Structure 1
């Protein structure tokens, strides 16, 4: 059963930390998984969190530090000296170590690096810091197991044992040539059952070898690992030299971050924010799309004012304005959400742009006919057959336009390298509101001869 933090338990931890009750902490806290202890540290006050952290051994400190939320991690790092940070980095995987200090001032980064005693670890961290954060190079770790293609099995086993001391989790043995170029992978089973003098070149496999480039986008890496059901993937440079690997835990983080970002964009939030962000930053992130929504509302009001005479002649037209605008926005968001999901997965199931638009248009025809018939009946009972025809035809037309725009706009945004998730929020809703109003009132004026 997984650990679940309760307020009562957190209060007990707080009391134990304050009173320095190490025995209670060892029994109830230190026996927990590192990720669970990180949750506790996240929730404690800064001074209590630091006190609890100091009671842990260095190796667990490093693991828990890597698990902390960004805010708690930043607070804890501020309380550590450069020497202490360097000590923590030496107990971390290279990718976690690079992520930990990436946002520090450059002078402090250099100072921390200078205090790392393991030169190879320091070089790995510096190398990773040179890659963009959202690329495979920025995501990878430098710890991996590799075997030379011309090694005999007995030497390979000795070398792998030495390398395994630095690698916490071994998923795959990569095979490289004398220039460290990736040529394939080695099955552990084949290695164990091979004779000591057998060469690796007679055992390794290169069929369906999947790798990514250091410059590949992190979303591309996530799609590759999902598509081929990989738990790790090798990373190579432009010369096909093996430089690192990416493991599934890092890809899960990418998927969660992208999902969170897309959700915020779809909600009209223009930059990444946390619940702990300042009031000004939250307002700044929300304001641009609120202003666009307000301008759309003003434009909609201008559309209504342009048909003021017709509405005054047939007041019943005003009763169905909310229905038209709501349905247009809903259909547009549904269509755009399907397309954005397809684009995010790298899925080409709809084929060309024309096929995507055609499919959504066909769905819109079916839904439009059914919904128009229903609303015709309500409008007929409510007022007259004429109003029924106006509302029914308007609703069908609005649904068609909303479906096409909801499909086309995210595709165009994606074509121009703009995140298509923008299309699933206020942008589509505002556009369809204004367009729907114009279509509805125009058809009403034509039908009533106003």
Structure 2
């Protein structure tokens, strides 16, 4: 068989499911990564879902279900019997179990909680009190934990007993006798010290690299990146160690947050869909896009009103219509650039609330120099090249005056749009709104109107119309 016609394992699995060959499905699924299993599950027709899940069984399906979109999780769980669900939930880590239960309905959540053992149920309920998008909602409690008053030998024996249920031993955290976080150490610190060495003597004190359980998940992910951590400890307000967020959690969080910001910048509202683009229904896409588009359409009517209000200026100097789209677009482009730069800096924790005016002043100056550059380029174009096209010019006006009008209007528009683009995200944060919401669509609509007002006002003043 030619190499380009070879059947990929993913396609082979789909064909086995379509043929309802259980032995082939199970054999292929055992050799397939759970993320690829989830992808295959989403590509199957819905009437094949039950066969697929029943065939691979609850143990193999446990990690796969975590990778499914929220809307498909409850349906997948309902395929299994109570005894099979007990196996499935037992296979899940505590943070994955919580993620799954946060994505099902209230009635189903209570039913699934009743299938857990006493310890798992108590732990799961304690984690469910944190919102999904908080550090507490994303943490795992399966951590390497030792006490400061232990010796190396005692610590190793304690870790040995919990090794199977620990997420990672690359970072081990040290607590006092009240469970408060006071330090950390590496496994090699235990390996290369004598058994009677006190843990307190070899641990390193914890600095600012910790996060409150109630903090936003994005803050936790940024701290992992900022301090180059493998695991970030999560504490309560009394510094009790509750769990950790690992680097793979941070990657998932950043993917979610960046997707959310991109969608909001594009004016897409509603809950973020975890389903693939092709699996998302047309109705869902319509609902998420329609609101912003409708609102901005009405805002854009103001642009039409400005055109009507200053229509006499265009009728007198029709040449001005050549530059109008450029002036308006330049404001939208530079305003969008400014808001993107500020939002990025805010998300990385580079801008504090007290530095708002410092940011605005910086962007105001940047906008002025950008406007000056663009205005100068358009002025040179108007004076040097436009006469070659023999554009009609009303008596008493010169290309120099038109060039000056365009240059002043463009400089003013770019400066004001850049200033506005920097202030809107800062104002949104002060009002407890998501800064991404006020980005490109809102700025474009605002500067479209302001750009026309600036352009026609400058033209009336300089050209004496």
**More divergent stretch after superposition (309-318 vs 68-77):** 68-77
For residues 31-65 of structure 1, the C-alpha deviation after alignment (integer angstroms, 9 at most, x for no partner) is 23222222222222234343333333543321222
Q: What per-residue deviation string (whole Å, max 9, x for no partner) do you get for residues 339-381 of structure 1?
A: 1111011113998223322322222232222211221233334
What residue in structure 2 maps to residue 378 of structure 1? 381
More deviation, 39-48/392-401: 39-48
- Residue in structure 2 matched with residue 3 of structure 1 by the alignment: none
Post-superposition shift, 1:27?
5.5
- Distance in 2 (CA, whole Å) between partners of 1:420 and 1:152 is 50
Q: 1:236 maps to what in 2?
A: 235
State which drifts further: 182-191 or 136-145. 182-191
Q: Relative to structure 1, is the Cα distance of residues 219 and 207 closer, same or farther in structure 2, using a 3 angstrom cutoff?
A: closer
Q: Does 2:425 align with 1:426? A: no
Tell which deviates more after alignment, 152-161 or 230-239: 152-161
Offset from partner CA, 1:308-366 (integer Å, 9 cap, x none): 22221112222222111111111110111111111011113998223322322222232
CA distance in 1, matches of 2:291, 2:19: 49
**SS at the partner of 2:109?**
helix
Residue 134 (1) aligns with residue 127 (2): no
**Selected match of 1:307 from 305, 310, 321:** 310
CA–CA distance in 1 between the matches of 2:445 and 2:356? 23
- Match of residue 178 from structure 1: 177
**Distance in 1 (alpha carbons) for counterparts of 2:158 and 2:32:** 34
Quote the residue 2:411 is aligned against.
396
| 1:388, distance to aligned residue in structure 2 (A) | 1.6
CA contact (8 A) 1:83 1:112 kept: no
Measure the CA separation in 2 of the matches of 1:21 and 1:69: 26
Instruction: Determine the structure 2 residue equivalent to 1:51.
Output: 51
Calculate the TM-score normalised by the size of structure 2: 0.89
**Quick one: distance in 2 between partners of 1:48 and 1:231?**
40
Cα shift at 1:168: 4.1
Deviation at 1:298, TM superposition (A): 0.9
1:54-84 deviation per Cα after TM superposition (whole angstroms, max 9, x unaligned): 3335433212222233344343124234443
Q: Equivalent residue for 2:112?
A: 112
Q: Which residue of 2 aligns with 1:287?
A: 290
In 1: Cα distance, 2:190 partner to 2:216 partner: 34
> Residues 270-317 of structure 1: CA distance to partner in whole angstroms, max 9, x if unpaired?
223433444444333223321332122211111111112222111222
Structure 1 residue runs of 5 or longer lacking an equivalent are 1-5
**1:56 aligned counterpart, secondary structure:** helix
CA contact (8 A) 1:148 1:178 kept: yes
Q: In structure 2, do the counterparts of structure 1 residues 163 and 368 end up closer, same or farther at CA, with 3 Å as the change threshold? A: same
SS at match of 2:197: coil
The more displaced of 64-73 and 272-281 is 272-281
Partner of residue 149, structure 1? 148
Q: Does the alignment pair 1:65 with 2:65?
A: yes
Residue 459 of structure 2, aligned match among 429, 444, 449 = 444
Secondary structure of the 2:245 match is strand
Unmatched segments (≥5 aa) in structure 2 = 1-5, 392-398
1:230 deviates by 0.8
Q: Is the Cα–Cα contact under 8 Å of residues 54 and 79 in structure 2 kept in the other structure?
A: no
SS in 2 for 1:246: strand
1:343 is aligned to 2:314: no
TM-score, scaled to structure 1: 0.91
**Which moved further from structure 2: 6-15 or 162-171?**
6-15
1:185 is paired with a residue whose SS is: strand
